[in-house]
Amino acid sequence: MDSTAEIISATLGLSSELLIRTVPIVVIGVLLAEILIALRITDRIASVAYPVTTFSHLPRECGASFLLAFISPQAADAMLVDYYQKGMIGKGELVVAALINSFPSVVMHWRYLIPVYVPLLGVFGLIYFAILMVIGFLKTGIVMMAGRMLLPGVPASGPPERPSRRALSPREAIRASFGPTARTLRRILGIMIPTLVVVAFLIEAGVFDAVAAYLEGASRLFPIPPEGLAIIAAKFGSYIAAASLASGLLAAGEISGRDIVITLLVANLLTSVVTYLRWLGSFYIAIFGPKRGTEIMLLSVALQDGLLLVAIFLLAWLW
C-alpha cells in the first residue's frame, strides 16, 4: 500500500514537472503561429528556409516552423499542429514537416556533446560527433526526398484570406491571435495533459527502467569489446558518465579509439529507444495526438536508428 502511495505521489510530482516544462513552450508556439498568420509575414520568414520547403514540396508555412525548431522543437511542432487544424497543411505535409523539424535538435547536440566529449576523448570525440551529424543530415535528406516524391508538386497553402483594409499593427495582431490560440490549445492540451500523466506514471512504476535493463543486455549482440559494456551501462545513467568512463579506459590503454567510437554509437542506439519512449514519445503524442504522434515517432526512430545501425557495422567492418 505504501509503495502504491509513493508511486502516485511521485507521479503527481513528475507530471507537474513535465507539464510546467512543456505547456508554456507549446503555448508560445501556437501563439507565435497565430501572430504570424495575423501579420501575414509567413512568406518573408519562410523565405530563409525556401530551399528546404521547396525541394520537399512543403507549403511555405512549414519554413517558419523549421526555423523555430532551432530554438524550440516543441514550439515548432505546436505551430505545425496549429497550421494543420486550420487546413493550411495536410496530413502528409504535417508528417514530413515534423520529421524535418527533428534535424535542428540533432545539429544543436554540439551544445552538450562538444564541451564534454572533445575535452575527454579528443579526436575520437570529434569523430563520434561528426558521425551523429552525418546521420542527421542523411535522415533529413531521406525525408526531404520522400516529401518530393510523395507530396503534390505545388502544395496548397490553405484557402486565401480576404484582404484587409490595412495591415495590423503588432499589438493588434497579438490581440487578434488570442481567440484562435485559446481554441487550438484546448484541443492540444486536452490530449497533452492526460498523456504526460500516464507517461509520468510509467516512469515512476519502473517500466522504462525495465526496458533499459533489457536493452543494456542486448549490447552483447554488437561488435564491441567487453570493456565497452561498462560504457553502455554508464550511458543509460548519463552521457557525462559514459564519456568520463570512456576517457579513463582510453587513457589506460584498455580500449582503442576505434572501439570507443563504435561503443558510444551502440550506446546511443540503445539509449535512444528508451529516450524516445520516455520523453520524445510523450512529446510527440502530447502534441500530435496518440495516432499521429505514434506514427511520427516510429518513423523518426526507424530512420534515426536504422542509419545508426548501418554506421555501426560499417565502421566495425571498414575501420
Domain coordinates of the chain in residue numbers?
A: 41-160, 206-319
* Strands (DSSP E) found in the chain: none
Q: Which of 237, 310, 230 is nearest to 269 (CA)?
A: 310
Q: How far is Cα of residue 296 from the mean position of the Cα atoms in its chain?
A: 10
Q: What is the pLDDT of residues 277-295, one digit of tens each?
A: 766 666 787 788 888 888 8
Tell me how far apart the alpha carbons of residues 224 and 212 are, in angstroms, rounded to a whole number: 18
DSSP label at 71?
T
Torsion angle of alpha carbons 185, 189, 191, 195, nearest 10°?
150
- The secondary structure of residue 41, as a DSSP letter, is -
pTM: 0.72
DSSP, collapsed to helix, strand or coil, labels residue 255 as coil
DSSP H stretches of helix in 151-169: none
Closest-CA residue to 95 (of 56, 123, 60): 56
Query: Measured on CA atoms in the order 105, 111, 114, 117, is the torsion positive or negative?
Result: negative
pLDDT the model gives residue 41: 61
113-146, pLDDT tens digit by residue?
777 787 778 899 889 988 988 998 899 999 999 9
Separation between Cα atoms, residue 126 and residue 130, nearest integer Å:
6
| 208, three cell numbers | 522504462
Which pLDDT tens digits describe the chain residue by residue (319 residues)? 457 777 788 778 877 877 777 678 777 777 776 777 677 665 555 566 678 888 888 887 788 788 878 777 777 888 898 888 888 888 999 999 999 988 877 776 666 677 778 777 889 988 998 898 899 889 999 999 999 999 886 544 444 444 444 566 667 777 777 777 787 777 667 766 776 677 677 777 776 666 666 665 666 677 788 777 778 877 877 777 788 878 877 877 778 888 889 989 988 888 887 777 766 666 787 788 888 888 898 898 899 889 999 999 898 888 8
Report how far apart, in Å, the C-alpha atoms of 232 and of each of 52, 136, 207, 315 are. 36, 21, 19, 18
Q: Do 86 and 158 contact (CB within 8 A), yes or no?
A: yes
